Chain A
Amino acid sequence: MSGGTNSTEMTATPATRVLGVSAVAATALMILLGLVISPADVVQGEAVRMLYLHVPSIWIAYGSFVLTSFSSLLFLARSKRRPDGGRHYDRLAGSAAEIGVLFTAITLITGMLWGKVTWGTYWQWDARLTTTVLLFVTYLGYLALRRLPVDPMVRGRRAAVMALISFINVPIVHYSVDWWRTLHQKASLSVGRRPEITGEMYWTLLYSVLTVTIIAAWLTVHRYRVIRLEELRDEETLEQLISSRRNEETADTAEPGDTI
């Protein structure tokens, strides 16, 4: 970040450029690894290549929703103590939630396609799929709430509460395959559990997670910046309206012959 009026609140352009170039380069290598170098599975065949999109997408969605909840919590806790009302926490929550929704949508799309090949159907109302679609719809509601035309601080508090309530579903989605009998397979990678895959497939999956993380970070930073720009525009519009109204009032109250 360089110096400026609001420099502490802004994102650094050189850094986002580096992040953007890294995302493009990492994606190129991910395509090579995921579609060419990594082998087909003995059971699932070529369809296993969906793994390199499906698993990273839901991990990023989880991560984004964790960030949304954490930022919302900080917004609620600190909004009254900070001079700016802690609105940067609200902005971060909003940008992360949008990225989370995007990657949940990708998880659902890739999962449905993968399901058609492995299960013979695009959709099944089993625990994992149902809770995931509920997660998607809930956070869509959160994003809709953020667009309500009310005072930004009031809207921020309402959105923060909804973000915290919505987050309850994240562990339910993750553990649904352990808690209930589902058509969906258990997690390919899980902390404290031996991975279900090994070798080139394992490393390709880890690399895909890294790549999608870089992409999500770039998107989150840019979305944050756009939210800030939207706020500046709204503030400027409001100032213009107030100024215009004051001018009208001054003109109305000025008696004929008065000089302004």
Chain B
Amino acid sequence: MSEVATVATGWGLTFVVVVTYSLWVVSRGRAIGRELGIGEAESPGSKRDTDLTTDS
């Protein structure tokens, strides 16, 4: 593999790994948040913690 191809592979793989992990973390947060009803419109006085929003 040439030097340029090695650098491209290294940088490319790094960004794929980091972006994939980031998307997994954000989507998992949103999925569990939806499951718990966090971040949705709530009635006043609800006990649910509205600070636990699942947006990035």
Nearest Cβ on chain A to B52's Cβ, whole angstroms: 6
- Set of chain B residues within 8 Å of A229, measured between Cβ atoms: 29, 32-33, 36, 38, 52, 54
**When the two chains form their complex, are residues B7 and A35 in contact, meaning their CB atoms are under 8 A apart?**
yes
**How far does the alpha carbon of A105 sit from the alpha carbon of B18 in the complex, in Å?**
11
Nearest Cβ on chain A to B50's Cβ, whole angstroms: 6
**When the two chains form their complex, are residues A53 and B11 in contact, meaning their CB atoms are under 8 A apart?**
yes
Nearest Cβ on chain A to B53's Cβ, whole angstroms: 5
Q: Number of contacting residues on B, CB 8 A?
A: 33
Partner of A117, one of B1, B13, B28: B1
**How far does the alpha carbon of A218 sit from the alpha carbon of B1 in the complex, in Å?**
34
Q: Which residue on chain B has the smallest CB distance to residue A236?
A: B36
**When the two chains form their complex, are residues B11 and A6 in contact, meaning their CB atoms are under 8 A apart?**
no
- Interface size bucket, A side? 35 or more
**How far does the alpha carbon of A13 sit from the alpha carbon of B21 in the complex, in Å?**
19
Q: Could you list 17 examples of A-B contacts with CB < 8 Å?
A: A2-B51, A5-B47, A17-B56, A20-B56, A45-B3, A46-B7, A50-B7, A53-B10, A102-B17, A105-B17, A106-B14, A110-B14, A219-B21, A222-B22, A225-B29, A226-B32, A232-B36
Residues on B lying within 8 angstroms of A by beta carbon are 1, 3-4, 6-7, 9-11, 13-14, 17-18, 21-22, 25-26, 28-29, 32-33, 35-36, 38, 47-56
**When the two chains form their complex, are residues B25 and A10 in contact, meaning their CB atoms are under 8 A apart?**
no
Q: Which residue on chain A has the smallest CB distance to residue B21?
A: A102
Q: Is A116 an interface residue (CB 8 A)?
A: yes
Nearest Cβ on chain A to B27's Cβ, whole angstroms: 10
Q: Is A76 an interface residue (CB 8 A)?
A: no
**When the two chains form their complex, are residues A233 and B32 in contact, meaning their CB atoms are under 8 A apart?**
yes
- Set of chain B residues within 8 Å of A106, measured between Cβ atoms: 14, 17-18
**How far does the alpha carbon of A35 sit from the alpha carbon of B10 in the complex, in Å?**
12
- Set of chain A residues within 8 Å of B52, measured between Cβ atoms: 6, 10, 225, 228-229, 232
Nearest Cβ on chain A to B5's Cβ, whole angstroms: 9
Partner of B10, one of A5, A17, A50, A233: A50
Instruction: Given A6-B52, A46-B4, answer yes or no on A230-B32 (Cβ-Cβ < 8 Å).
Output: yes
